[in-house]
Amino acid sequence: MTTKLKILDKNENIIKIVNLEEKDLITRSGREKSILDIMLDNDIDMFYGCMGGSCGACICDLENGGEFVEKEKIRPKVYKNVSEKEILTCIAGLKTPFKDNSEIVVKKKF
Ligand code: FES
């Protein structure tokens, strides 16, 4: 099963659609990838800083597919200014096992 990650710019134009299999979520060192890792792997130009959920630089809008995302999968967030419709991409991950035809839409803010 695959999951589709659709990435939009702040004007809602599609930058990229990434088709993922569960095996794509693991780095060579065996660590689980965050959504930010997946975006960077796919050459998406992203702001980020701490990579640990505390600075807020990687924040994006979660436009669709929230049921397929675990917002604090990599580690708990420290940065508090995150609404229900936003994610810190450095600590958010995809839920597994994937469900058929799942699509997640993330919109960049910057
Ligand atoms: S890079 Fe700092 S919160 Fe994500």
Provide the whole-model pTM: 0.96
Q: What is the mean pLDDT of residues 29-49?
A: 97
Kindly state if the Cβ of 93 falls inside 6 Å of ligand 1.
no
Ligand 1 atom nearest residue 47's Cα: 1
Q: What is the mean pLDDT of residues 19-41?
A: 95
* DSSP 8-state secondary structure symbol assigned to residue 67: G
Query: Does the structure show a pLDDT above 90 at 4?
Result: yes
User: Mind listing the pLDDT tens digit for each residue in 48-62?
Assistant: 999 999 999 999 999
Domains and their CATH numbers in the chain = 2-108 (3.10.20.30)
Ligand 1 atom nearest residue 51's Cα: 1
3-state secondary structure 1-40: CEEEEEEECCCCCEEEEEEEEHHHHECCCCCECCHHHHHH
